[in-house]
Structure 1
């Protein structure tokens, strides 16, 4: 970044001496003979450090730098004047309008050091501004992400609630059927069972069916029927006989080819056809 310095002094010989002194440090130096001209140059250039004399026509250095503070607060402002002007700039120093007060005549090395320090201060201000803007942009982006995430969570929650409600309705419909219905996945796990199925195969509802392996809870004769059932075959009515001797009709349906899952649906007529005896 180019370091631009504005020198405001109506005395030509003083200004020329300062320019010769500071030019060796690589600064771009702008010159103005008064506060009005200095404000014009500031409107056209990005200035980092300002050195102003105190006693000038039109407006004093303090008046000029006070206006600069309002318009360009990031600039670092230095007054260069005689000891007799110290009281007139004390209030401006306390208000922050002036960074430093340097006296005439000056010591060359001390002036150069103060100008170097002023530029470092200015560049630190710019870096803080840049970092603050980046942080603000990151916070805004994070806020947008959080809002989008909240919307996604809300949509997913609504979808889950709808699906849960639909499942409840589906289960209510299954429970109201006059037949026992059991859904067995391709892995042999029971995924669906209505109330009549629990009464028929689950010891009158005492033994849960959902989540159990079919081979562990369903009658052997029914498992044999499941294994022998051919996919895509029209279901035929079969009979099964429980250990109690009760005889029931049942049908076995394979999931259709368009289904998202594979498995078999068992439908059993829970009305007893016969009691006791052998099939």
Structure 2
């Protein structure tokens, strides 16, 4: 009698051991202890960990959309000088980039430093220093970009007006803009008014930006009431024409002055008294200044 009981107990132990082994085996194969992450997900986690910190990014990763500086003239001498500086010294000051992410998808949007980023892309630079930001509201990122640009370099007048107009669309008032940027309220109203100009009027201004500094646009155009868009366009074109004539005249005067100096060099025997009367006569007929 004792022996069968012993065998029965051993049998139960074996059954229990088999169940535990089966359960352990199923756990191993049905519930893995790790998952393989995609490269994009790993990259996103790295960028998330760098928010509000300086981080290296490849310029090709950064989108230049929603640029406060709406037009970047790559042929401009100032831009070319910046590009040459970056080619020799690199980007010394970090640019600001916003991370916009959803689940495992993300975008990196330039908030400030658009020209430096574009120059780096053109030069084929593979990494630049960036400060990673994450904004909860759209007007916060726009305000940051606009403020950064205004503090560092003079924006095109139309770029400033478009930036202010966007803030108005996002619920700001002219008084808020005036207080934040330290500008006269009437001045702010005039700048915002420039944003309402037609595409044709804006095109004339952008194509002749050296002839339309902010002072001219405010005093001669924004402060004036125009009966129609066509009247405004004609006034802009007249300004371009007058300015062009003045530029040609100034160039001729400069050339006359150079020719006179060459004449003096070729005739060293001419006395100072004679030079004085010659120049007086030339000024009378407005050949030189």
Larger of the two Rg values belongs to structure: 1
Higher helix share: 2
TM-score range, shorter chain: under 0.3
Higher strand share: 1
Give the TM-score, by structure 1 length.
Answer: 0.26
The answer to which structure, 1 or 2, has the higher relative contact order (CA under 8 A, 6+ apart) is 2
